[in-house]
């Protein structure tokens, strides 16, 4: 059983005022992302082929490129998806089934709630030096209750589902898509329920808006550990970690109070992943040449 040291979350009114190179206690600044092509890192996923590599990509409107980075932020190469379009890429997840490593690129951003469908690109994990690669298949879907903006996905291999967490609804809503959904039709996601375990906005938050990107309650990224026992949700100011018991659904586990950790001075935090061994969590942001933070979990 792993545990994480509890760190008090900064209040929304004073959050994110520290230097980005002075992360909160418990966070290690391992380096900065070195590839100049990474302008708005909007997701982060561990490699299942190489434990020293993480994958990231840019936010919407950018070329459909996956970037491999080292755990110190070093440039390890990039791969263009030849059959994908980056309308609004917002997260990336990884998983392994039957010895094969996969990535899922989530084109699920929808700030104005107007898209008639959104898309997941399923990609057998490439080698960084391959330069160009094709997604194996695409899953297009809609929500049962109308368009939603989302920036956070994760893969539950136990249930063979892709989980999608809405960003702008209060509270956030968790949806599911079958991992092996048919690629040639637009399917309807299953609404699993509200995620009440993460902080919610107060009346002051709703009326003051966003002067300094302090939407502290909005989820911007999500991941599930390789062993399937832990999930982490990222917001602009903190991360929230949940554990589930054997056979427990994630929607039920996410109703309980999470273990939380402050991000310190990192602004625009929108990307998170567990390491392959589950011993650490990595976080980065949408800034240019952003810091890469590591939070080590205590055995």
Q: Locate the domains of the chain by residue range.
A: 27-296
Residue with tokens 């002075």: 22
pLDDT score of 298: 73
Q: Across all residues in the chain, what is the average pLDDT? A: 89
Q: Note the pLDDT tens digit of each residue in 67-112.
A: 999 999 999 999 999 999 999 999 999 999 999 999 999 999 999 9
Which range is least confidently modeled, 20-24, 133-137, 160-164, 224-228? Answer: 20-24
Nearest-angstrom CA–CA distance, 280 and 154? 17
> In 3D, which of 263, 268, 287 has the Cα closest to residue 26?
263
pLDDT score of 216: 72
Q: Note the pLDDT tens digit of each residue in 42-61.
A: 999 999 999 999 999 999 89
Helix, coil or strand: residue 84? coil
Residue with tokens 């989530």: 106
CATH number attached to the domain at 27-296: 2.120.10.30
Report residue 13: phi and psi, to 5°: -70, -20
């Amino acid at each position: 059983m792993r545990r994480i040291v509890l760190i008090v979350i900064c209040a929304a009114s004073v959050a994110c005022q520290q230097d980005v190179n002075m992360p909160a206690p418990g966070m290690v600044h391992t380096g900065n992302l070195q590839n100049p092509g990474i302008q708005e890192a909007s997701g982060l996923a561990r490699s299942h082929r190489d434990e020293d590599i993480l994958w990231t990509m840019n936010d919407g409107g950018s070329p459909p490129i996956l970037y491999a980075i080292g755990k110190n932020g070093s440039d390890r190469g990039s791969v263009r998806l030849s059959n994908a379009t980056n309308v609004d890429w917002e997260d990336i997840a990884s998983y392994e089934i039957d010895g094969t490593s996969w990535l899922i690129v989530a084109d699920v951003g929808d700030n104005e709630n107007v898209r008639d469908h959104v898309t997941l690109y399923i990609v057998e994990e490439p080698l960084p030096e391959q330069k160009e690669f094709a997604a194996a298949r695409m899953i297009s879907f809609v929500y049962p209750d109308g368009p939603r903006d989302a920036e956070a996905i994760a893969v539950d291999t136990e249930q063979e589902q892709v989980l999608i967490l809405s960003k702008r609804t209060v509270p956030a809503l968790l949806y599911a898509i079958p991992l092996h959904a048919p690629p040639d039709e637009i399917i309807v996601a299953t609404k699993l329920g509200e995620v009440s375990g993460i902080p919610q906005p107060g009346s002051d938050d709703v009326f003051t808006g966003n002067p300094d990107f302090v939407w502290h309650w909005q989820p911007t990224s999500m991941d599930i550990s390789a062993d399937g026992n832990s999930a982490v949700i990222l917001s602009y100011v903190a991360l929230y970690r949940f554990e589930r018991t054997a056979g427990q659904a994630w929607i039920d586990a996410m109703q309980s109070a999470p273990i939380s950790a402050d991000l310190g001075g990192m602004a625009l935090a929108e990307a998170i992943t567990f390491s392959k061994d589950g011993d650490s969590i990595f976080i980065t942001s949408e800034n240019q040449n952003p810091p890469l933070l590591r939070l080590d979990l205590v055995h």
